[in-house]
Amino acid sequence: MHPAFERTSTTSAIPIHFVTASTWDAVANSLSEPARRFAQAQDFKAKAGKCLVLPTANGAIDAVLFGLDEAGSPKHDPFRPGQLPGLLPPGVYRFANAPHDARLATLAFALGCYRFARYRKNEAPDVRLVPPDGVDIDNVSRIADAAGLARDLINTPANDMGPAELEAAARDLASNYDTSFDCVIGDELLKKNFPLIHAVGMASPRAPRLIDFSWGDPAHPKVTLVGKGVCFDTGGVDLKPPGSMLIMKKDMGGAANVLALASMIMDAGLKVRLRVLIPAVENSVAGNAFRPLDVFPSRKGLSVEIGNTDAEGRLVLADALALADEDKPDLLIDLGTLTGAARVALGPELPPFYTNDEALAADVACCAREERDPLWRMPLWPAYDAWLDSKVADLNNAPSGGFAGSITCALFLQRFVEAAKSWLHVDIYGWTPSAKPARPEGGECQAARAIYRLLSQRYG
């Protein structure tokens, strides 16, 4: 169970009363007379995010008031209770009344306890929650634990999270379950036909690699996850400006979220044959770095002209997707922090997803809404496929012109998927630019919760 939760009697836990403007009078009338008078003396208003600790006559904590948005209002945030761990005094608490969504509020409480403390003392709040009745706390805990894993991996700077360290994190996760684990490193990538992964990572002294592990009954449906693991992206020879390079430690966010999703799947024991593929590289600048207009073969046999060395994520994913596709999975999913165009179109909180499977698209959209893990479908627009044409190779990795960058990236990746029964591509950001309830500034678990809900419904 996640450390934010406590299995104890609710009678000894401090009650948290959720209030809105419309429910405040009823909640106030349910309080003791001294508590009600104290709230009035403090001029407590039932506004979203407002918190008031109500004392007993001897100075102990009697109860807590916490304001929520009105249900159905445009500002309604089901993760608002994620503010509580940063506001409450140490202690064990319980929900005295139901928030708008008890499960998401419970998850928000755990996510709000997260602190990244690898390099300085930053202790998690000394608060715990007695889980509400009816909430599957084991499932909430595995989601919160997985989100913490993704955040930790993304938040770790590149000097301590290179390809080898990402491999170690994957090995550590895989070692908790009955998995088969393999990793192809350095020049072995060329010998085993992963030329694009090698090309992107060959300029770094930290050897590129392809991480590959499998779990589950081979007789179950095959689900393969592919995560972009660019541990730092300078942009290569097409060097990024300083502002764009500043948070490129997060460019392995696809890999981090794939590991988080794999953790949920394995811990829940879903009835799938899971395979995880992570091309882990560092896109560096050196004399042997790949260059614009270089041409490389790919695992699939398609030759690729380099239109831009800063469009490296799709290159490493291409070889990994080609390998995954050879296995003819029932469902092939890739996650990557891929394009600025996706952020321009939809911002940091709403990743686009792509698929030609209409049933899958509907299920993904539904699960994203239910889980409040936002995703928005974008089209694999066939007319733009011609933009990938090259005069000297089978295709170009970065069409000139700059239009529809997220779509053309998805179309590029689609060229490497043929045999999979269904394919889902998600262009995530993996980062929270400014803190929100339950979502501290920094690395973020994005899309993994929605996809886990989808897989749980299909293969639980």
Long-range contacts of 433-436 (CB under 8 A, 24+ apart): 433/348, 436/77, 436/79
Q: Which two tokens stand for residue 29?
A: 């009338």
Q: Mind telling me the catalytic residues?
A: 240, 314
Tell me how far CA of residue 315 lies from CA of 185, 395, 396, 437, in angstroms.
Answer: 17, 12, 10, 36
What are the residues whose beta carbons fall under 8 Å from the beta carbon of 350, sequence distance 6 or more?
A: 374, 375, 376
The residue assigned the tokens 């508590």 is 35
Q: Which two tokens stand for residue 215?
A: 């779990």
Shortest CA distance to 67 belongs to which of 50, 85, 89, 53?
50
Q: How far apart are CA 69 and CA 271, in angstroms?
A: 38
Q: How far apart are CA 4 and CA 128, in angstroms?
A: 5
**Number of helices and strands (H, E) in the chain?**
14, 19
Q: How far apart are CA 161 and CA 240, in angstroms?
A: 20
Residue 341 falls in which region: left (phi positive, over 0), alpha (psi -120 to 50) or beta:
alpha
Q: How far apart are CA 460 and CA 453, in angstroms?
A: 9
Q: Return the ∠ at Cα 385 (arms to 208 and 254), rounded to 5°.
A: 35
